Every structure is written in structure tokens, then in C-alpha cells.
Amino acid sequence: MSLTPAPAGAVRQGSLRELNLALVLGRIATADRPPSRADLATATGLTRATVSAVVEDLLAGRLVSESDPAPRSGAGRPARGLVLADQGPAGLGLEVNVDYLAVCVVDLVGQVRHRTVHRADLRPVAPADALARLVEMAGAAREDAARHGLTLVGAALAVPGLVDDAGLVRLAPNLGWRDVPVPALLAEHPPLIEQVPGVPALVVDNEANLAALGELHSQPPGPSSFLHISGEVGIGAGIVLDGALFRGVRGWSGEIGHLPVRPDGRPCRCGGQGCLEQYAGQEAIVAAAGLVRAELPADTATARLAELAEAGDADALRALHDAGTALGVAVASVVNLLDLDTVVLGGGYAALAPWLCPPVLAEIGARVLTAAWSPVTVRPSTLGAEAAAVGAAGSVARRIVAQPAGWLARPG
């Protein structure tokens, strides 16, 4: 999701204003301090007159507000700083995962204004029932958002599986879902959002993708190209290139869990052999550490591992080192291929990062030709749990920033 305007088709007279609205608003969103109209004029290359006109539209639409006297030095009339409004449009983020449901609301600024998590084992629950429960939570979220002056303009749902363009969940193995028509199931419930031109009412996407988007938009802003790895039962990755999520031809990119790291190794349930998941997936690590999986609820497995590693347990340390090495082989492949300089460990990996990072870095150092000239950073995610839900909500809010014209054109 680039912040620079990029018209797809004809550039009409009115597109001009649309593009400049996006340009100016994007600048306000990414500035590290509230810019004045004059700042925006020099930053964008537009004239002050144009910026004033554009800002007037944005103020009228309540997308930005004027902040009180901005700190300045020197003579001259003081500038009025412009900031994104903390009221107005907001995004709804939804997440179905193996052991929890999550709902959150993120505003234009990117802040989480509402958050609900419902812990439960979702594997035995029918998809329709899980979604119904989610809608219920979302209803409460909307009411809470309204109390803060926020209007939900779109929703994004994160699922740990493969999703096609139409929102059909083709396969979510760890959840036991197959060919679940999410949009159709959700359409049976009363709509929770106010439709705005240019913002899809519902986007269904892979959990790893949305978590990566969350990382992209987190504060402080990080790099615009990176790999975000979600290490859960399965291992997924979100690839962010130049500030935009790369989804692949059919939206199924990031299947890093099935990169062959030991081509003649253990058979994987995907049909292949020696997939990363067999060596660095949650179950593999737990087993290698000598823990009995049945005694560990999924959401406590990584916590228990971290506990043992912290205490110096030899089995746990070895298991983590081996997993990190396997992960490092896969990451080295990605870095060689895409020339990324940042890798973020998210999901269950975030808590295990202190033990995973060293072997991953070692493999990168040994296997990446260009690592000698420019080092690769490997760090844990800054977002906590439910990162995908936050990323989902943020992706909706970002869309308003990227295409404000739709919101401004609404009748209200």
C-alpha cells in the first residue's frame, strides 16, 4: 500500500484533486512532526495556494485537524500544525486463529482504539459458528468505537491459511477449514460498517500477510522492505516490498514453511520432504525439546519453551538452536533471492527470538553473498500477540489515508 498516488486508468480533471488529496494526506501521515501548510508545499512541490485548498477539503472531511501552536524558532507568523484526526474513519480488524478470536479497531493514526480477545480452541468449532461469534464481538467493538467518534469503514479478516481473491478460504490446515466461503457466511449478519467508495467492505487474507502489514505500519516506522515470519504451528511469511505487501500471482505468497531445507529429510504433510515446518514449526521444536505436546495448550507451548531456555535447559536450548539453524537456511534463501535487509520474527517466534536470532544470523553470514557488504538485521516483532488483527484493522485505516477521496465524497 503505497502512499504515493498511483492512478490505474484515465487521469481525468477530477483525478488531479484526488491524487493531491492523497499526496498531502500521506505526507501528513508520515511526517514525524505536525507539518504546516508551508512545509507541505515545499515537501510535495505543490504551491501553497493548492495546499491550502487541499487542506481545507481534508479539514472539512475531518480527516485531519489543526494542532495547537507547533514548536518553532525564529521570527514570522507561527505555523499551524496538521495532524491526522483521531476521530472519523477507522478500520475493523478480525482474526480467527487456532486458539483465539480477536477483534480490534485502529484509527487513522494507526493506534489501537479497541481490542477484544476471546480465547478458545477453535478447531472443533464450525466455521459459521466461529464467524458468528466474531461478528458478535465486532458489534460490541463498533459501539465502543462510536463512543470515541470513530466510524468503521471496512473490515479485514485474518485467517491462518490460503485465501483466494474472492475471500474463499481454500485451506486452513491447522484450523481444519477447507473451502469456507467467508464473505457469504458473514453476509448473513447485519453489516457492521459504513460503506465508503474505494474501501472494500471485507477483505479476507492470510494471517502472516496481515501481521506483516501491521509491522509495516507500526510506530516508529521501520524499513519499507522486509520479511515478516509468523512462527506458529505452521510457518507463514509476509513479504513487504517497497512499502507494499507482495501477495503473489494468486495471493499465495509467503509459504516459507514449505521451503525445502533438507531435501531428503522428513516427509511433510504437504507431500514434500524436508520442509522447514518439519524442523522449525512449533510442534517440531516442542518435540525436540522433549516436551509432550498433549500436555501443552497451543498458546502456552512457546511460553514454556522460553521458560526452559531461560533456565538453561539443555534440551530446550538445543532444540531452539536446531530450529534456528533450519530457519536460517530458509531465510538465507529468501535474502539471496530478494535482497532484503530486515527479517522480523513474529508470532510465536517473537518470544523465542533471543535463542533463534544467533543461529539465523550465523546461517545468513555463511550463505548470503552480499551479507559482507551490508548486514542483515534479524529482530523480533514489535507488535505483541494478535498482530494479524491489528495489521488487518490498520490496513483498512491506511486505505483511507491512501485514497481519501472516497471518504470525502460520501454523502454524510
Partner DNA sequence: CGCTATTTGTTCAGCGATTGAATTATTTGC
Partner DNA sequence: GCAAATAATTCAATCGCTGAACAAATAGCG
- Given DNA, its own copies, none, residue 54, with its beta carbon under 5 to 8 Å by kind, binds DNA
Residues from 218 through 237 that contact its own copies (CB under 8 A): 223, 225, 237
Residue 8 found at the interface with DNA (CB under 7 A)? no
Positive/negative CA dihedral, 105, 111, 116, 120:
positive
Task: Tell me the per-residue interface mask from 28 to 67 with DNA, x by CB under 7 A, - otherwise.
Answer: --------xxxx------xxxxx-xxxxx-----------
Please identify which residue in 1, 5, 136, 362 interacts with its own copies, judged by CB under 8 A: 5
Instruction: Name the CA radius of gyration of the chain, rounded.
Output: 23
Residue 113 found at the interface with its own copies (CB under 8 A)? no
Total chain residues near DNA (CB under 7 A): 29
188, three cell numbers = 448473513
Asked if 253 contacts 212 with a C-beta cutoff of 8 angstroms, the reply is: no
Please identify which residue in 8, 60, 75, 311 interacts with its own copies, judged by CB under 8 A: 8
| Number of neighbouring beta carbons within 10 Å of residue 14 | 10
> Which residue from 288, 357, 278, 282 is spatially nearest to 316, judged by alpha carbons?
288
Total chain residues near its own copies (CB under 8 A): 65
Residue 251 found at the interface with its own copies (CB under 8 A)? yes
312: region left, alpha or beta (phi > 0 left; psi from -120 to 50 alpha): left
- Given its own copies, DNA, none, residue 49, with its beta carbon under 5 to 8 Å by kind, binds DNA
Q: How far is the CB of 310 from DNA (least distance, A)?
A: 52
Q: How far is the CB of 7 from DNA (least distance, A)?
A: 12
The residue among 53 and 171 lying less far from DNA, judged by its C-beta, is 53
Greatest extent of the chain over all pairs of C-alpha atoms, in Å: 72
Distance CA 400, CA 84 (A): 11
Residue 287 found at the interface with DNA (CB under 7 A)? no
Asked if 155 contacts 201 with a C-beta cutoff of 8 angstroms, the reply is: yes
Q: How far is the CB of 287 from its own copies (least distance, A)?
A: 21
The residue among 9 and 271 lying less far from DNA, judged by its C-beta, is 9
DSSP 351-412: HHHHHHHHHHHHHHHHH-GGGGTSPPEEEE-SS-TTHHHHHHHHHHHHHHHH-HHHHHHS--
- Given DNA, its own copies, none, residue 56, with its beta carbon under 5 to 8 Å by kind, binds DNA
Alpha-carbon torsion, ordered 309, 376, 394, 232, to 10 deg: -30
32, three cell numbers = 514525524
Residue 249 found at the interface with DNA (CB under 7 A)? no
Residue with cell 533471543: 354
Asked if 196 contacts 219 with a C-beta cutoff of 8 angstroms, the reply is: no
Residue 79 found at the interface with DNA (CB under 7 A)? yes
> Which residue from 141, 178, 16 is spatially nearest to 396, judged by alpha carbons?
141
Residues from 45 through 64 that contact its own copies (CB under 8 A): 45-46
Task: Tell me the per-residue interface mask from 182 to 221 with its own copies, x by CB under 8 A, - otherwise.
Answer: ----------------------------------------
The residue among 46 and 92 lying less far from DNA, judged by its C-beta, is 46
Residues that bind its own copies (CB under 8 A): 4-13, 15-16, 19-20, 23, 44-46, 162, 170, 223, 225, 237, 239, 241, 246-256, 258-263, 270-273, 275, 329-330, 332-334, 336-341, 366-370, 373-374
Residues that bind DNA (CB under 7 A): 10-14, 16-17, 20, 36-39, 46-50, 52-56, 74-80
